[in-house]
Amino acid sequence: MTVAEEAEKYGLHRVGARPSLVDYLKQTWNRRTFIYELAKARLQSQNERNRLGMVWVVLKPTFNAIMYGFVFGILQGGSRGVDFPVFVVIGVFLFEFFTSSMSGGAKSITGNTALVQSLAFPRLGLPVAQVTQGILTLVPMLAVMFLYALILGTSPKWTWFVIIPLMLLFSVFNMGIALICARVTVHIRDFTNIIPLISRILFYTSGVLFSVDRILNKWPWMVTAFDYHPLYQTLQIARAMIMDHAVYEPRAWLVVGIWAFATLGFGLIYFWKAEERYGREN
């Protein structure tokens, strides 16, 4: 009888063995308090050394919106459209949430090697905590984003509340991205150096600073391709719900929903498959 057969006979299991996906999710859910407290503690420690503290949560995207809005407003000239300042604020603020989820998720395992190697817990909790931290950051950002919209002349309306289900879908999508990046970085440490480049490319190609219909109207096939772009469609819905003169295709909800749950499903399985390898990589 082999050692494995002997162990199975007496109900013994290998230390650190990967549980089934269902058990894995149950174990993660049972540690939801730890995940939330970890996210909250990191958010506080991230800004406590700065004199302005948590104010930087909204100052950073504000400065980015001013800088990019000024530069791209001049470059686009008359094609920038109506309510361009609000257009840019919404794009920059929401894209900030995506960027923090992607970059934070990429470092969630490799940046916590001591924790991963010293404690037994589902490693899924680390990227989840990272996205949770992003959600905690997003809440005050949304409040300031709506304030800027009012200051810039946008009329308040009931559709503003639609931002809640939209951000839930966006969080699901970002969670999937964070899980994928977390595992990739474990296998390829240099991937963290590529993340900023990927982020910049997505920033300039997701309609954060320009209207696809106006800028790319000479290339209809490119406009059609953006109909299936999850980040672009998320921004389109948000702008239509907040701005006075923005519109969107109702099917955008379907596109965002499919991308969100497909990305989360793939990311979850992809991350879970390598559970036994986390903390053991050289």
Tokens of 223: 């406009």
Answer whether 152's CB lies under 8 Å from 145's CB: no
On whether residue 241 sits in a domain, the answer given is yes
Residue type, 103: S
42 part of a folded domain: yes
**Residue 99, domain member (yes or no):** yes
Q: What is the mean pLDDT of residues 229-245?
A: 91
Q: Within a domain: residue 152?
A: yes
**Mean of pLDDT values over 164-171:** 96
Return the higher-pLDDT residue of 51 and 153.
153
Band of the pLDDT at 233, cuts 50, 70, 90?
A: very high
Q: Residue 250: what pLDDT?
A: 87
Q: What is the mean pLDDT of the chain?
A: 83
**Contact 176/94 with Cβ under 8 angstroms?**
no
Instruction: Tell whether 132 is covered by a domain.
Output: yes
User: Predicted confidence band at 244 (pLDDT cuts at 50, 70, 90)?
Assistant: confident
Give just the sign of the alpha carbon dihedral 104, 106, 107, 108.
positive
What does the pLDDT average to over 150-162?
A: 88
CA separation for the pair 248, 219 (Å, rounded): 19
- Report whether pLDDT(10) > 50: no
Q: Which domain range does residue 68 map to? A: 33-277
- Give domain status of residue 8, yes or no: no
CA distance 94 to 141: 9
CA distance 85 to 112: 39
The distance in angstroms from the start CA to the end CA of the chain is 34
Residue 126 belongs to some domain of the structure:
yes
Nearest-angstrom CA–CA distance, 118 and 6: 28
Indicate the number of domains in the chain: 1
The verdict on residue 269 lying in a domain is yes
